Every structure is written in C-alpha cells, then in structure tokens.
Structure 1
C-alpha cells in the first residue's frame, strides 16, 4: 500500500494494513509539522513568549480536519469522523488532554474503530505517540486511555461548516507552498 492509497484499509486492520497506514500517517505528520504556524494554532492554545510547548499544541483541530480530507480523497468509502472531546485516563477518569480533536475510522459504536491522532503528544502521557493509530478498545486496555467524544462528531460533509475551516485554509496553503 502506498502512502496515499489506503483503500484496502478496513477495521479491524491486519498487521500489514495497520503498518502501511501508520507509515502514511507518519509521513502526513511530518508534512503537517512543517506547515504548522501561529496562524494555524487554535487561539486559546497559543503559548506565552518563551514558554516551552510541543509543536503540536493547539494544532489538533486543523490537523484532524486536514487528515479527514486527505483520507476521504484516498477512499470515499471510509467511514470517517472528525471528533472533538476529551482524552481521559481510564484509571481514574481524569483528563489527559481536554478539548482535543482526532479522527476515527469505523462505526462510532464499534470498539475496534480506529482512533487516529496526529497530535496526541501534546499530553505528557502520550508524549511517545506523536502519531497514534490504534483501535479504541486497545487504547483503553493497553494505554489506559479513552478518546471520548464529548462535544462534536462530524462526518466529512459536516466538517465543511466547522469553525476550523479558516485555519484549515491557511494550513493547506502552507502545505502547497512547501512551508
């Protein structure tokens, strides 16, 4: 499977399909990271001058919206959701990453649906996962983390009307310019 062809991906994934998707996602993360800027960050997550923060901080919405468009272009049959909610510890239900955005592939009620997060490394407990692509039930079991849609779940068509669109336009221009 090539970086831009994920048409054979289904949930749950075989090991080879997951590996191929993961390789594509790492490539996408590298592209996005080069294009992130103060213009693409969500305004409530801007860092104070001199403050140390992960490059991905505040880039979750725009990156997830871009990824939904990218994946949709690769395969229109994928069941994609742009999700906005909280990432919680399943140990004590405390927020690991509140007010976060990510992508899900599969039916929302399927415990094997894929959670795809290109900016989870904003949270200390996910620092080792700048690219995360795991079934929801494995995240709960192995990482003791739950991605809970608390606020919004949008399909690709609904995402076209989301407030992230102006920043997404900036991100896409920066990507096309090779910034």
Structure 2
C-alpha cells in the first residue's frame, strides 16, 4: 500500500480554468456563470466562483487562452501584467510583448491580442504559473510610458501600494531616468511625480 506524504508536502490543488469545449460548452459555461457556479475571469476563461483570485490564477487563465507558440515567445505586459498583479481590470485585448529579435507575424492567434515588439533587460521578465509576465518594475515603467494618463494613474497607485511587489515611487522614477531616450519619457516623469504626491 503506497504511503501518504505528510500534509505539509502536498501541494495545494489549483482551481481549474474552464474553456468552452472541454468538458462544458460555451452556453453551459454562460449558464453556470448566471447561476453563480463559475465566473468569467478573462476572455472566455472561467473559474469556480469561490476560487481565490491571485496572480497565479489570472496568469493560468490568460495562458489557457493562448496558443503554445504565443505562450512560449510572448510576454504579458503593460495593463495585462498589471491585471495579473491585481492592479488593473481584466483587459478586453490582452497586451503581449515580443522581443525585437522575434517576428510578430509568426504569433497570429485566434484570440484577439495586441502585440508589440520591445527590448527586454535581464530582469524584466518573470514566470508566473508558466506564463511569462513583465516584472513589477518593468510593468510600472511600461504603464507610465505607454498608457494614457487617466488610465495609468490609478493603476500606478495600486502597483505602488500592492504588498509584495517591492515598488516605491523613487525606485520607479530612478528606473525611468536610467532609460535611454524614450518617447513619452517627460509625460511619464510628470505622471510619476503626481502619483508620488
């Protein structure tokens, strides 16, 4: 008879991410959501209604929607990364970033995505539940540089206030100043000054 490992060695079971087709149809999932059994997390990815939401579940939900070639070569970034960290609403169109050494055209996907070619530094990308995501610092910089001010401001405030992300206004401002010439850098600087106040 096999021995049972001690409880502290048993990994907690992750809540399932449900997509239409297996084992439920899209109509069944919508009916289950209406009944409060499941909830839609992003796109057509559903999770049990009582599943605790955190970065791992959000990352797994987005990853479930992406073809393998996108998951392997692209990085969730900008407002999508901020959502994974729990600091922004779920994006209608997830933003995926691709290293400028890859061809964007090879990442065609049946899912609707926004894909941008970017450069990455050695500490810009994390793995969260098997999905590549920009680090909290890179996410804050990208939100400040690439998102419109009224949308960026509350997200930056939440990123800076989120326990465990390790961000401070001074750290983000110093990282911004260390970047080479960058479009919208002055606008991002003003935005970070307003957030710090």
Identify the TM-score tier after normalising by the shorter chain. under 0.3
TM-score (norm 2): 0.25
More helix by share: 2
More strand by share: 1
> Greater CA radius of gyration, 1 or 2?
2
TM-score (norm 1): 0.26
